[in-house]
Amino acid sequence: MSEAGKPIVEVCLTPALFYQYNTKESIVVAIDILRATSSICVALQYGARSIVPVMTVEESFQYKEKGYLIGAERQGSMVEGFDLGNSPFSYMEDKIIGRDIALTTTNGTKAINIANGSAGIVAGSFLNLDVLAAWLIEQNKDVLCLCAGWKNTFNLEDTLFAGALSQKLLPHFQLSEHRDSAIAAMNLYNLAKHDMYDFLKDSSHRTRLERLKIDEDVLYCLTPNQTLVVPVLKDGVLKKHSDW
């Protein structure tokens, strides 16, 4: 925390830059708008008991043997042999109620796992924007928005959310000396906010998902405040903050 007493909000634009940040005293907000952290918010809102973010497809099958539902996405598609993919709509189904889920995705679940060792790890998405901002203000700790990107590269949608969240946290928070990524994210968000779907029309993951004909997923994931959950990671497990 800074000398002025206000906590700091920073933005890490890709997991490749995460090593530059010391998050021992900070809460990391893992962000994968399309679609992992959006689907995680939906699953906990619609009654899943917990979600384990898993790194590999192989590891997920071990959870299946323990009675978990397993979800996997690679290249945007559901992986054969899994119960669920990564569409937020599939996490609204009755079969997830009361269940523990192991989920592995290309970037989102990795971003959650690389933040291990931070003072706190939560999942952020437009779907929980306001409730997450209010919860972070209450925690009064430094925050790092960690954009999952795509395979260690920058992406627009995660950056837009990092900008939206940073903007909500200021003026309760302040920017750090390394503030340019937060300023860039907020400026981009302000450019895009009136029509984020259109703003993202040529973006890489929208193009990727368009090929799979899952545009409704994109539209839904860009709609603010559809859930009231703050998914908090403890001991490798994500649960609603109120369930810990």
Closest CB 6 distance from ligand MLT, rounded Å: 32
**Is the CB of 10 or the CB of 73 nearer to ligand MLT?**
73
Identify which range of 30-38, 155-163, 218-226, 229-237 contacts ligand MLT by CB under 6 A: 30-38
Q: Token pair of 56, please?
A: 């590999």
Per CB under 6 A, 60 contacts ligand MLT: no
Asked if 147 interacts with ligand MLT (CB under 6 A), we say no
Shortest Cβ 76–ligand MLT spacing (Å): 4
Q: Residue 20: which residues within 8 A CB-CB, separation 6 or more?
A: 12, 178
Considering beta carbons, is residue 35 or 241 the nearer one to ligand MLT? 35
The Cβ-side half-sphere exposure at 7, using a 13 Å CA radius, reads 18
Using the rule CB under 6 A, is 163 a contact of ligand MLT?
A: no
Residue from 12, 36, 136, 196 that binds ligand MLT (CB under 6 A)? 36
Is there binding between residue 206 and ligand MLT (CB under 6 A)?
no
Number of residues interacting with ligand MLT: please give it, by CB under 6 A. 11
Q: In whole angstroms, how large is the CA radius of gyration of the chain? A: 17
Q: According to the binding rule CB under 6 A, does residue 231 interact with ligand MLT?
A: no
Q: Judged by CB under 6 A, does residue 108 bind ligand MLT?
A: yes
The enclosing H or E element of 239 equals strand 237-240
Q: Based on the shown chain and the rule CB under 6 A, indicate whether residue 125 belongs to the binding site for ligand MLT.
A: no
**Nearest-10 Cα torsion for 138, 28, 226, 44:** -100
Cα distances (angstroms) measured from residue 28 to each of 21, 123, 133, 183, 191: 10, 8, 13, 18, 25
Q: What's the CA gap between 208 and 225, in Å, rounded?
A: 25
**Is residue 106 within the footprint of ligand MLT (CB under 6 A)?**
yes
Helix (H) or strand (E) holding 208: helix 204-211
Instruction: Note whether 73 binds ligand MLT by CB under 6 A.
Output: yes
Contact by Cβ (8 Å): 128, 163: no
Asked if 142 touches ligand MLT (CB under 6 A), the answer is no
Interface with ligand MLT (CB under 6 A), residue from 9, 31, 34, 102: 34
Question: What do you get for the CA distance between the two ends of the chain, in Å?
Answer: 25
Q: Length of the chain in residues, anyone?
A: 244
> Site residues (CB under 6 A) for ligand MLT?
32, 34-36, 73, 76, 86, 105-108
